[in-house]
Structures are given as C-alpha cells and as structure tokens.
Amino acid sequence: MRISHARDFGTYVRERRRAAGLSQEALAARAGVSRRWLSAFEGGKPTAEIDLVLKVTAALGLLVDVGPEPPREPDLDEYSKRFEGSR
C-alpha cells in the first residue's frame, strides 16, 4: 500500500487493528505505547515518532517497506496531444 500522508497511515493502522480484533488498549500494550498516543496516531498525528510507529506496525505484524518511487507511466493522451500538435 502506498501511503502519502500521516492520516492515511493512521487510518490504515486503525483498519488493521480492527480487523485483528484488537482494542486500542490491547494494541498499545502489545506495542509498548500509550493508548492516548495510539489514538492520536490513528487520527493522523503528523508528528508521530517513527520508533513508536514501527513498534505499532510490528505489533500488528505489518511490514513497512521504503524504496524509490517507480517510474511514472507515460500519459498516452498527453503524448497524443503533443504529437498531433507537431504535424
């Protein structure tokens, strides 16, 4: 899954927590964070500490994978318009 914003990350973690049948209290205890911090993170806290984020994702059995952006696919409509304009 591609995540571009803190809110997206928090929403995804909330969905995974619920799918696992865990309460915020249970996940917070498993990850070693406070329930209050977890609630803020799930709400999209933009300043969430990366160490705590990684503890929560690990406690849910999630993998966080970072890599280079894949090359953008060419927009064929845009290409066609440029080609038509050069005739």
Q: Residue 74 has what DSSP assignment?
A: P
Report pTM: 0.76
Top-ranked range on mean pLDDT: pick from 2-6, 46-50, 77-81 = 46-50
pLDDT of 83 over the 70 cut: no
Alpha carbons 45 and 34: distance in angstroms, whole number? 14
What does the pLDDT look like over 12-68, one tens digit per residue?
Answer: 999 999 999 999 999 999 999 999 999 999 999 999 999 999 999 999 999 998 888
pLDDT of 71 over the 90 cut: no
CATH superfamily of domain region 1-87:
lambda repressor-like DNA-binding domains (1.10.260.40)
